[in-house]
Structure 1
């Protein structure tokens, strides 16, 4: 990962972060960007996901900058587990500067087809094979979890917004106390060569949830923002693997490439630092221009 701007405008040194889905993919990219810039990160993932090696790697990377990492298990689809997570963090911290609510899943139809070339019967068969439980699970993790995590951690986020900065200004002038929800550029276009309907719909709901929660938290200036990544390597999107249907779409992205760690970490550093303190209630698309052309793709 190349060096990112780390002066006082974009600085997060000493900030406290909770990152869900932090054990891999986008979550780990974000955690690494924060730790290497001096933040303390609570790396959250499923109890079944081993994170010890990831935490050790982050602590090694963050040593020079003063950043650190600590692993905490949580199934974000479980409301009680979220409450337990908030209690654990609250026992260790008097405030948190940011919640990066990043955990997400995608449930593809069991019977797959290329949506752009399939026959009528093939398309209907593929779409009908989608299970009701897949929709329930997708919304539970991709949308509902953002809501309950934000509410459970609200007192710690609000405490950060009231912190006095070295300049004597309140934290709301420095942007501390922010929720960042990971959505997807799939929420913003209609054409894909695989059926991502449940996934894209859950992400569109997340985009609106950003606005709903930002409005509700506005009196306390706990900011709520979102990011809509495009093609970025992850377990969900194995960029570059043979047979991956998404790889054929890279030449239709104006940037002519997949996203990388600096693209994601740099966006997060902007949104959670003083640089982004005046940004609230919006979702920022980080997709190399993908949605500019997606609905007109052949």
Structure 2
């Protein structure tokens, strides 16, 4: 990743923070983006203490002007962004009959519309600078299958999978690869209360791996898609789920 400039959304916790650490450890200049700037600043301090390069950028991915300002800040400090980890998103557990318009917009704006906006903005800048790049969208196994009470989330992530394929087809001509990671269940800030509960523990025991994923088990799949190691991989939706998709969700 030497010489790469990587922008990561949703970088204040979970996969986003992990991706920032891994990218920086491999030589990329990292632009950590999220709304919770104080957390980003602590992450940047950690990366710099380990000898890496990073900046913290306040970004609301549901606001186009905020996205553009984030890319501007990245370019001013490090140059054109060539790797994007499109990770920001929200979750919602609600029966389909109970979802109102505000619920629907909340999920779709953060999980689908924002992914397109970040990818489009980054790709436009790569094309203008005539540089190759890689975009990794974080979808979910729920973008490939469905489970009860998760309809809006599953629909948004299925949209990310199809978005990934559509952008890969178009952006590939400009030497910009677009792929998606489809994580199974990893413990993050978003779901840790559920997986600490008796119900959550019982659910995990029904999966083929009988456990949640460890954060480091996402490192190699992410780095494959983000780096030149995956230079001939474009338009894939890669499950990282311990075989969860082989059974019922």
Q: TM-score, normalised by structure 1?
A: 0.77
- Of the two, which has the highest radius of gyration? 1
From 46, 60, 80, the equivalent of 1:57 is 46
Output one character per residue of 1:129-159: Cα deviation in whole Å (capped at 9) or x when no partner.
3232111011111011111111111244347
Matched, 1:86 2:42: no
Aligned CA distance change for structure 1 residues 160 and 19 (closer, same or farther; 3 Å): farther
Q: Which moved more, 1:244-253 or 1:39-48?
A: 244-253
**Cα distance in 1, alignment partners of residues 28 and 38 from structure 2:** 23
Aligned CA distance change for structure 1 residues 130 and 234 (closer, same or farther; 3 Å): same
Matched, 1:288 2:232: no
RMSD value, Cα: 2.1
Matched, 1:99 2:84: yes
- The structure, 1 or 2, with the larger RCO (C-alpha pairs under 8 Å, 6+ apart) is 1
**Cα distance in 2, alignment partners of residues 278 and 254 from structure 1:** 30
Q: TM-score, normalised by structure 2?
A: 0.92
Q: Which runs of 5+ in 2 are unaligned?
A: none
**Cα distance in 2, alignment partners of residues 250 and 24 from structure 1:** 22
**Cα distance in 2, alignment partners of residues 127 and 234 from structure 1:** 24
Aligned position for 1:136: 105
Structure 1 runs of 4+ with >4 Å offset? none
Matched position secondary structure for 1:75:
coil
Output one character per residue of 1:270-297: Cα deviation in whole Å (capped at 9) or x when no partner.
11222100000111111111011125xx
**Cα distance in 1, alignment partners of residues 198 and 125 from structure 2:** 41
Output one character per residue of 1:193-245: Cα deviation in whole Å (capped at 9) or x when no partner.
xx111111100000000011111212101110000000111111217753264
Aligned position for 2:2: 13
**Cα distance in 2, alignment partners of residues 271 and 245 from structure 1:** 34
Matched position secondary structure for 1:294:
coil
Deviation of the 1:78 alpha carbon: 0.9
Deviation of the 1:14 alpha carbon: 3.0
**Cα distance in 2, alignment partners of residues 290 and 23 from structure 1:** 27
Matched, 1:242 2:211: no
